[in-house]
Amino acid sequence: MKPFVWKEGMSAEETKNGAYWERNMLVLMYAALSNGIARKHHIGQVDEHGLPCGWYRHQPDPWPGWERVVSLEYGRFTFHVPDDFDLGNLLEIAPNWDGHKTAEKWVRAMSKVGIDVEPVIKDLMTGEFFGKQCPRCGASLLRNQLDDEWCSNVGGRSLSACTFGLKE
């Protein structure tokens, strides 16, 4: 594997591929550092390796050529990487994605580095009408940037309130 080096006159595709290469190297470096700290201090969940980071194959493969997933912090942060990207000595692990959506992953990352995420969360959670009707009561549905959907009649009076899409 050769390191990516930006050069004057690169195409948009070459620049995009270079940005992915850089992202993948930073993710791999984070995984190596996290695993090194866990080994040194014997911290983390107990699994076959006792390490917070590894990689696994995403099955079934939704993106040909990007089957492998690097998992950071026990699945709290996951990144698909190209199948031909050298993962060095990162261990293969069982799939452990925690169900996060992409926006949730980045809010977690922002919070971890001290960025005020309150305005971001508010923006992500704000619902907008998108032309679908509630299957329970027929009112309009709302959807936010996390793809959560709920009935706009959630605040209805007494027995007419609808709870479609609300989470406990």
Question: Which tens digits make up the pLDDT trace of 135-166?
Answer: 988 888 998 887 888 888 876 555 567 888 87
pLDDT of 46 strictly over 50: no
Q: Specify the pLDDT at position 48.
A: 56
The model carries a pTM of: 0.76
Domain ranges for the chain:
12-99, 121-160
Q: Specify the pLDDT at position 85.
A: 96
Contacts 24+ apart (CB under 8 A), 50-55: 51/91, 51/93, 53/90, 54/90, 54/91, 54/92, 54/93, 55/81, 55/87, 55/90, 55/91, 55/92, 55/93
Question: Which tens digits make up the pLDDT trace of 6-39?
Answer: 899 999 999 999 999 999 999 999 999 999 998 8
Question: Which tens digits make up the pLDDT trace of 119-135?
Answer: 888 888 888 899 999 99
